[in-house]
Structure 1
Amino acid sequence: MWLSLFLLLLPPASSTISLRDLQGRFATPDYPQGYPNDMSQTWEIKVPSGYGIQLSFTYIDIEPSANCAYDNVQIQADEALYPPSCGSWTGDWKKFHFPREYHTSGNWMRVTFRSDFSNEERYTGFSAYYTAVDVNECEESNPCSHFCNNHIGGFLCTCRPGYVLQENQRLCGVRCSGEIFTRFKGLITSPNYPEHYAENSKCHYTIRIEQGFQIMLNFTSHFNIERDAFGQCTADVLKITSGQKEYGPFCGNRAPVIRDHLSNVVEIHFSTNGEGEGTGWKIMYSSTAKQCPVEILEHNVLQPKNSDYDYKDSVRVRCESGYELHDNVRNQYIDSAMVHCQKDGTWNSSWYSCRPVDCGNPMALRNGKRNVTSTVYQFLNTYSCDEPYYKLEGNAIFECAATADWVAVGTSDGTLPNCKPVCGRTAISDDTGRVFGGKPARLGYFPWQVRLRTYDGKVGGGALVSDGWILTAAHLFDGSRQTTVHGGIVNLQGLSPEKALPVEDAFLHPNYRPQADGSEPNFEHDVALVKLRARAKLGANLSPVCLPAAGETSPLRAGRLGYITGWGKTEVRDRPIFLQYAEVPVVGMDKCRGLDYRGKRPRFTDNMVCAGQPGTDSCQGDSGGPFVLRDLRHPSRHVVRGIVSFGPQQCGSYGVYTHVGRYLAWIVKTMREHGSWEDEETRA
């Protein structure tokens, strides 16, 4: 019992028999004695490609059952699995439940027989034979695009005249690839143009001309390439490539327009589907020399100057005014260079550049400043002076010109401006005092005041009238013209030669005559100029007083107040340490004539001014110092109108001053004739 149950659970024995001949027979095991129980037998039939299979049953006797569930035979062919079959056939078709013959267009078939574990009766099974049958592929699937020729075991595709069989040996197309056009102009069409172009084709045309030339494409108006059902270019497609640029895809009935000049190589790709309904296209191509830009370098001048330049053209390059041609390889400037238009559409000009001329640093101004951001062509420099002690005279703004010179803007004038000293500035307040009985001055009150000491021991004063000249009295130099000058001070303590202003020479008025012992005093033309060896640097404590305006030669109006300054004798000290100042009026000359000059009779002329008042006067040691009045037209300025010249033995009343206005012409002439300094050449 256990053994029987175990046997029922075992799967049926199975095997597969392979049949490879063009024909053959096979039958159920033990045929015709009756097939065994509980078995599975498969026959796999395979014939050569190009054949089908015809299977015929000559005898069938298989146990019948509902849906052939017990014993059955089942056929699989052409990827179809037929239902299981059973029953008997002994010549009576009515008893046979399945067809006698099976056919397949494919070259493979599988036959499987199965029996269950028991049969109530003995059934003999089946016998069958098969044969390979030629398949007419041309009728069944029409695999060829043009002509299909059937033969035993296969078929052969052929094409209409003008077409060739493609690699798949089924589709027909035309030979339209590999042709290269090398002429400078030509004509290219789609296959069969203007008739319908070939279907199933992939055409590739190449235009390749000499480098340095460009290709131009022109489509004729007759243009017809099939679109797909959605109007897109997917059915038949025309594309054009040149360099890195692609044009297309093109299709439809409107001829495309390509305005670009293409490179010297153009690829034309035309592919068609299996329809071939369009009439195609026609391209006329031409060529032109590749053009180079009309501007080679920035700021260049070309010779010849043309509207366009083609491959192999040559031009001479120079630079426009204000620029210089630089050879970047040799690192030198040259007058011109010959350059050539190259085959890639560029000039061989990378070695050269037009550089703006360089004017170098503009000359520096004495007592002034430069304001320049660049020294090359068309850049500007603005001069300014050290205000408020200097004032600019002349053009302030200069431009770097094409000649590599700095010139005033809008002109060709390269004359530098001057920083002219500002005269007559003072920090004095309105308080007054006396020189003889006066009061000490502070720094900046009288910045023009200087102290002179000649080598023979005379001391006196003077006034700075520019940054290089001092106005003083001539009689200080009766014994020696060598002198030491200190300026920018009010305190005489600590003076040393190192702090002195360097003196170059002293110039006395040519009509001045030194005083002679025993003779009547004659201080006519008592005026002198001292030239400094170098121009003084002006500032709050050292700046000039103004000279009178031209023509101010008439006698000064009585009552005008002016400042007198000096380190001369006071009522309490013969040699004061601090600079003293006082304000005194101009008086009539008769006041000075009436004084006691130790019985002598000095000469009085219109070249002299009398000024002072009882108790306020200049004195010994003040000689050469200035008598300064406010400028009536410019109250902030002060003008030197007199020079301390002489006075009575007893100070404290009136004194005589040289009338500066009378000597203005000589002063200006002397300063102009001798007013040059060696260091002026170092202003750059």
Structure 2
Amino acid sequence: MMLKLSLQLLQLLLLPHSAYSVLLGWVESPDYPSGYSPHASLNWSRCATKGHTLSIRLIHLDLEDSQDCENDAVKIYSNGNLISVLCGKREFEELQATVNPSLRSSPGGCLSLSFHSDYSNTKRHTGFRGFYTLQDFDECQDDPDNGCTQFCHNFIGGYRCSCRHSYHLDTDKHTCTVNCNEDLSGLNSGQISSPSWPSSYAENANCNYTLSVDVHLQLELHFSDDFDVEQSPDGQCIDGLRVETPSGTLGPFCGNTPPPSPLLTHSNEVQIHFTSDNFGTNKGFSLHFKTRDKICPVVVTPHSTVTPEQPEYHQGQTVTVTCDAGREASIQQNSQIVSQYVTTCQSTGIWTSNYICELVDCGFPDIPEDSILKVVGSNSQHTQYNDQIQFTCISKYYTLEGDDTYTCSARGVWESSGGNTEMPKCTEVCGMPEKEPQITARILGGKVANLGEIPWHLLVKYPSRGGASLINDRWAVTAAHVVENVPETTLHLYGGLVDGRAASSDTKFYDKDNVVDITSEKIIIHPGYARNVNDRTNFDNDIALIRFATRVNLGPNLLPICLPEGNEDLVENEQGTVSGFGVTDRGIHSAKLRYASIGVFSTKECQNTPLFSPNNPMIFTDNMFCAGADGRDSCEKDSGGPFVLPMLTGGSGPFRLGGIVSWGSPCRERRFKGYYTKVKNYVQWIKNTIDATEKSLKQ
């Protein structure tokens, strides 16, 4: 009786299914239908073959009911994803209507089932029973992405596509298209139209028409006014017509406006391509092609003009091509790129010379890597005509002289708005210390300078003690007698310090980290200085320049002093500041940098010079001045140091180098009067010497 009932149920369940449906087997809970025991379990899994699906049809379900089926449950998975959890008791009609339709795998997928029961039940439940079947999957009906553009035919395990009359399947075996490729080579005239013209053209068309005539002829295309190729509302071509020649592509053309007629191709070889998508009812196009003698294009090359200007050019005619402003032809003449050339029309419709007018490229400015002048952003990509670059200096201790913004000109050079083609320069900010001395004192045991108050003062420690003044980041000035017997590359100077001991190897000094050790590369003594001591009757031209081996990094503790400006001479009683590490009033070298404010003496007072030997006074010249004050003066080992105007205490910058400590009788034997090299007289020599030296080193 049970077998008969099962067969009747099977017949009922299989009636609505596909004509191809195979019963593969049963799946049921343990000990069905006698009832499952506590802690019972079952794991089951099957997979469908390609083009088929697997389904489970439950005909009986009687399990312990619980919230979320946490006690007894049967779980069904499709390709590992849970699709159903069942428990309790369900009638056959409910299973058939709401449960079974979802218990299906994807085409070629797998179904798995797991069953478990907990430790006890209040009553014995019979369990569940169902059968699984393998069924053909109808791609044509159930898969909207089957890819067939016209007809779809299902068969057991797969499907195939077919097309209407006059269409054929493309190589992808899904797309229906038309055979509209045609080689019309050798014909001097003829007609070409879209497929099915004048009816709506076919969808998924990919047409290619080949035209080829004698090399001395060109093809011209005459389109009919009845032109209708699908176009989007924003003007983009959905379907499109393109005309391809060896020199380029015309189109795509679409919409309701035909291409200009006649369309001159300037070529004896043309490919006409027409493509359409899988939707639309547009009419298409029709054209007549014929030949004519070749003429050369009116535009020889883009971004240029021609002289003389004519509607068309024939064989043998010559024109001058001039590139637009800011462009140049890629042709070399006498090692220069030119913006104009001459060309002649040939019988083949090609100009004898056809150069591209490219944008002028000024190139990235030639700035050394270690330069203090920098380009903002350092973008070397934007160097073509009308591009702009902006210059700046590496730090606030430099000032940009000249324009900061330059534009790439039509001449291929960087040019400022003022027409300047020379790059701007960065000059050192001079004579502007960030700290200012507070009170005045005498250098012989006088006021000790704080770090950064006299940032241009350099200590010459080896091979002999003295001073120097920083005048830019590569040069210093000192007295000639300080360096007259020193080999050029052995001189060591120290900057950024106020304690001379910090220039030693001892590490206990607080400002040692600020010390800048400077090595000389070149020493240039003024040619008018008497270097032979036996011939020396004066210290005239006691001045020398020192070039450093490397550029120093400027900062608050190391800044240059300005050179004098104009022709104004020193005025009697004019107050300035002298600084140095020389002998103090106690007769010893000062470890600390000291400074004092002193006044300029009159010429008459200066002519009363000290004696260097009995009856042998030193000669005073116009290249000198003397200065001092009651109890304040420069002293031994201050030689080469700066005398600065105006005086630092109470004065306002920029401060300028008025003098260089030069000579005088021993400090303790004279009445506070020292002699100084008058720097004003040597400004031009300093500038000329530095310029000539830098130029020679670059060569």
TM-score of the superposed pair, with normalisation by structure 1:
0.49
TM-score computed with the length of structure 2 as normaliser: 0.48
